[in-house]
Amino acid sequence: MPPTDPNRVVIFDTTLRDGEQSPGCSMNPGEKMELALALADLGVDVIEAGFPIASPGDFESVRAIAQKVQGPVICGLARCNPADIDRAGEAVKDAARGRIHVFLATSAIHREFKLKMTREQIVARAVDGVKRARDLCADIEFSPEDAARTELDFLTEVVEKAIEAGATTLNIPDTVGYATPQHYASVIRHLKQTVRGVDNVVLSVHCHDDLGLAVANSLSALMEGARQVECTINGIGERAGNTALEEVVMALKTRQDFYGLTTGVNTRLLYPLSRKLSHVTGMAVQRNKAIVGQNAFAHEAGIHQDGMLKERSTYEIMRPEDVGIARTELVLGKHSGRHALKQRVTDLGYHLTDEQLNRLFDEFKKLADKKKEVYDADIEALAENQLQFD
């Protein structure tokens, strides 16, 4: 059933499934459990815990998470065949709320080269798969893989049949990150306008970041009535990754004025969870990554630092504490100005005269020209010099 609040977006986290498909990011069952518990604390609505047929370890992970983790729906992925579906059903059966996520490719490229199946065969297999899953579980998600490259008339037909067969969430994957915001929005709009029964299911989006557009595509789909976003912490996932959970959640929160949509995520836990995932997988977060990167709340330019010291909203659209980062950082470097330097010197416990400060500022600029960043220890040394000078 769609959520009762029409403005509530379902956050479907697939860090433990699609995210784990990131080269170098595979996790053991203990690590998956640790992350699943943290995702539940974060307030996601659905955790896709794994692909149970993929390995005995993944089956056990999904089963253990289904048995232990309270709050979110626990989902297992399955290709559209009886063995996969039964295995996924077995893995999630002990969850308070379990889901089987069945997928089958629909695009001409996949039909012809990968599956070697006709349109009719695809429809029949999708219907059989959804019905079989529905016999095992009340909550069924269906994904026409490579939907963004599927002919619209055929996509419409397949998803309509999947709904008739019992799917409760209909997910539209941009499997290869081919879509652009306008294109993806037009697909979602078309499905919303033409598919019978679409208003009785949750319409979901699943975007990959091959063109760097996963978050933008997801937001464009929400504008057209999609109400579930599939995403991962730090945007990890196949190739260039998936929609970054922290980015889409903070976009909705920061631009509530525009979207009018909410999520159940406790945003103050975003940064700690980003760190935890990075620690578990060994995959570093790029320094300039939105929301959780080291530079996300760091300012170096003198004009920006001066503005920040006067009123932080001049150069900050979000508060670092709202994503779990302790404070804004004013990084001292060659672009920094007198105002930020004076503030740092005072914070470090030095009370210098205007003349001392002027001399220190000259020394600081000379040093900054030679270094990427000037640290507190450098400032302390410069300040001590000034005190000795007099």
Which residues are documented as binding site for Mn(2+)? 18, 206, 208, 242
Q: Determine which residue in the list 52, 173, 320, 324 makes contact with ligand KIV, applying CB under 6 A.
A: 173
Q: Is 175 in the site for ligand KIV (CB under 6 A)?
A: yes
Residue 248 or 323 with smaller CB distance to ligand KIV: 248
Residues annotated within the binding site are 18, 206, 208, 242
Which parts of this chain interact with Zn ion (CB under 5 A)? 18
The Cα 119–Cα 366 span in angstroms is 69
Stretch that binds ligand KIV, among 57-65, 167-175, 281-289, 371-379 (CB under 6 A): 167-175
* Window 278-317: contact mask with ligand KIV (x via CB under 6 A): ----------------------------------------
DSSP calls for 338-360: HHHHHHHHHHTT----HHHHHHH
Residue 156 or 232 with smaller CB distance to ligand KIV: 232
Q: One-letter amino acid identity for 125? A: R
Residues 16/269, Cβ–Cβ less than 8 Å: no
The Cα 132–Cα 191 span in angstroms is 24
Instruction: Please compute, for residue 146, the number of CA atoms within 13 A of its CA located in the half-sphere on the CB side.
Output: 15
DSSP calls for 107-136: SHHIIIIII---HHHHHHHHHHHHHHHHHH
3-state secondary structure of 262: strand
Stretch that binds ligand KIV, among 59-67, 149-157, 169-177, 303-311 (CB under 6 A): 169-177
Stretch that binds ligand KIV, among 31-39, 54-62, 171-179, 332-340 (CB under 6 A): 171-179
Residues 314/306, Cβ–Cβ less than 8 Å: no
Q: Is 48 in the site for ligand KIV (CB under 6 A)?
A: no
Q: How far is the CB of 95 from ligand KIV (least distance, A)?
A: 19
Q: How far is the CB of 221 from ligand KIV (least distance, A)?
A: 14
Q: Is 15 in the site for ligand KIV (CB under 6 A)?
A: no
The Cα 11–Cα 230 span in angstroms is 6
Q: How far is the CB of 219 from Zn ion (least distance, A)?
A: 18
Residue 220 or 242 with smaller CB distance to ligand KIV: 242
Q: How far is the CB of 101 from ligand KIV (least distance, A)?
A: 7
Site residues for ligand KIV, 132-161, by CB under 6 A, read 143, 145
| Structure-token pair, residue 206 | 């699943």
Q: Is 344 in the site for ligand KIV (CB under 6 A)?
A: no
| Structure-token pair, residue 317 | 């659209």
3-state secondary structure of 373: coil
Biggest distance spanned by C-alpha atoms of the chain: 89
Site residues for ligand KIV, 192-221, by CB under 6 A, read 206, 208
Q: Is 18 in the site for ligand KIV (CB under 6 A)?
A: yes
The Cα 261–Cα 256 span in angstroms is 6
Residues 248/233, Cβ–Cβ less than 8 Å: no
Give residues in contact with ligand KIV (CB under 6 A).
18, 103, 143, 145, 171, 173, 175, 206, 208
